[in-house]
Chains A and B, each alone.
Chain A
Amino acid sequence: MEKQELIKLFPERIRKVMGGQDVPYEEIREIRFRAEKPVAMNVGGQERLLMDGNRLFLADRALLKEMLEYMSGFSVYAFEEEMRQGYLTLKGGHRVGIAGKPVVKDGEVVNFHYISGFHFRISHEVKGAGDEVLPYLYENRKLCNTLILSPPGFGKTTLLRDLIRRISDGNENGAGLNVGVVDERSEIGGAYLGIPQNDLGMRTDLLDDCPKAQGMYMLLRSMGPQVIAVDELGGTEDTEAVLKISRCGVRMVMTAHSADLSELLQKKDMECLFESHIFERLIFIKAPMGERSLFEVYDGSFGKIR
């Protein structure tokens, strides 16, 4: 992300400080603001503290409040639903986690009394992230039901996002398809007020901030998708939905947490999917996405293809 774009995420009071750091701005992945504490940035995997000249910059409570108002476009009420989940999605698809004292009503978080911290996750859309695995997703120019797997932080969502775009637009392995995406946590599309900020392709319909299982049924009923894509499959409700959808002839590209095949086969809620041989391709990301990507690809019978 370019420096000027990053600075635009912040109110006037902090812009000068944010803009005066001696760091490669395009490598900033995360920024953590905590009340009365130094601001920490993750720059290319290294922690760097925000400096105001020679002194550490501390985030005071008034700044956190000002930031919330500014980030929401002075419309905190419009983000109440997201705030209940503990985050905001900003223009550009960046996600801001919120810490503080939640207001709980009838056992559910409805808002925040006090804000004590923000965790900015800078959206990194990596076009081309899926180039290497894309040919393995097709057989005789037909898209295979695919499950992408890795431990957290290895780039499943980044890979899924790029594959959605390529499948939707069409590529050398197959024609473009209508893709329906259920984006429960606004991480795939990075939608800001319902509009995807990341490129998900020309034939993609997005259900943003919607429970996965419910969203899959909704898409099936209303949008006639040829492919359904969801992130972080898990729980019996999700797997039951996948089973039902698979019977409707819709192709699926999904992700789940799992480091390897043995860990995957121990997941009880996924058992029914493998017994029914729903997935024809399993793609394991073996190292965090970066300079060097490392994939393992299996077919539906767990035979290693690559």
Chain B
Amino acid sequence: MGIIMIVKLMGMAAIMAGAAGMGIFKAAEFGSKIDQLVELERMTEYFRGEILLHHSTVAEASADIAKQVAQPLGSFLKNVSDRINRRTGEDLRTIWETEGEAVMRELSMDRKEREEFLRLGEKLGYQGKDMQEKTLNRYQMFLARKRSGLEDEQKEKMKLYRTLGVLGGLFLILLFV
């Protein structure tokens, strides 16, 4: 086998690896989004425990949960807690919305995700425990549905991206060879 053939084979391998890597990278993007949803689910679950079991106020619960969740949720919850405790006269909806802007941006939330996230802030702390439970259940169900949909999509798209990557690589090889 001549050196030219070896170089060609190495080129083919590099194109194939690059194309497959593109597929894996796209699939990893799904994984990251799913991780974010899992973190939001964890936050909601912590709120459930703090509010329904310990009867903590929203400020207390937010301060405690801030230490247990990843960024940017941690900073967001700490800021919410601090602003409630400062007794500025603002309502929770305003506090949640203004502090949540960075979270919604960093987590690249789509329109529906933003709506549900803001709705949680609007309803949290409003009325009795039953209402709290309903609000938290509703958000948790939304997150679970979203995650489940993404996981299914991830499986399908991963196959698709990998296959497209490989096929794209073969196409390029044929084109160049």
A74 touching B126 by the CB < 8 A rule?
yes
A70, B57: Cβ atoms closer than 8 Å: no
Closest 5 CB pairs of A and B: A74-B125, A12-B89, A75-B57, A74-B92, A8-B87
Chain A interface residue count, CB cutoff 8 Å, equals 21
Given contacts A69-B126, A111-B128, contact A77 B51 (CB under 8 A): yes
Cβ B56 vs Cβ A69 within 8 A: no
Asked whether A78 is an interface residue with its Cβ less than 8 Å from the other chain, the reply is: yes
* B89 lies within 8 A of A76 (CB): no
- Assess the A76–B125 pair: CB atoms within 8 A: yes
**A235 on the B face (CB < 8 A):** no
Whole-angstrom distance between the Cβ of B112 and the nearest chain A Cβ = 24
**Set of chain B residues within 8 Å of A91, measured between Cβ atoms:** 87
Partner of B89 from the list A15, A75, A111 (CB cut-off 8 Å) is: A15
A77 touching B91 in the complex, CB below 8 Å, given contacts A72-B57, A193-B57: no
Q: Are B128 and A76 in contact (CB under 8 A)?
A: yes
**DSSP majority for the B interface?**
loop
- The proximity string for A residues 47-78 relative to B, scoring 1 for CB distances below 8 Å and 0 otherwise, is 00000000000000000001001101111111
B90 adjacent to chain A (CB < 8 Å): yes
The answer to whether B90 and A12 have CB atoms under 8 Å apart is yes
Q: Is B59 an interface residue (CB 8 A)?
A: yes
A11 adjacent to B128 (CB under 8 Å): no
B:37-76 near A, CB below 8 Å? 51, 55-60
Q: Which chain B residue has the least Cβ–Cβ distance from A83?
A: B128
Asked whether any CB of chain B lies closer than 8 Å to the CB of A10, the reply is yes
Besides A69-B91, A77-B127, A77-B128, 9 other A-B contacts (C-beta < 8 A): A12-B88, A13-B89, A72-B57, A74-B125, A74-B126, A75-B56, A75-B59, A76-B127, A111-B128
Contacts of A8 in B (CB 8 A): 87, 89
Known contacts A69-B125, A69-B126, A111-B128; A78 and B55 CB within 8 A of each other: yes
A80 to chain B, nearest CB (A): 6
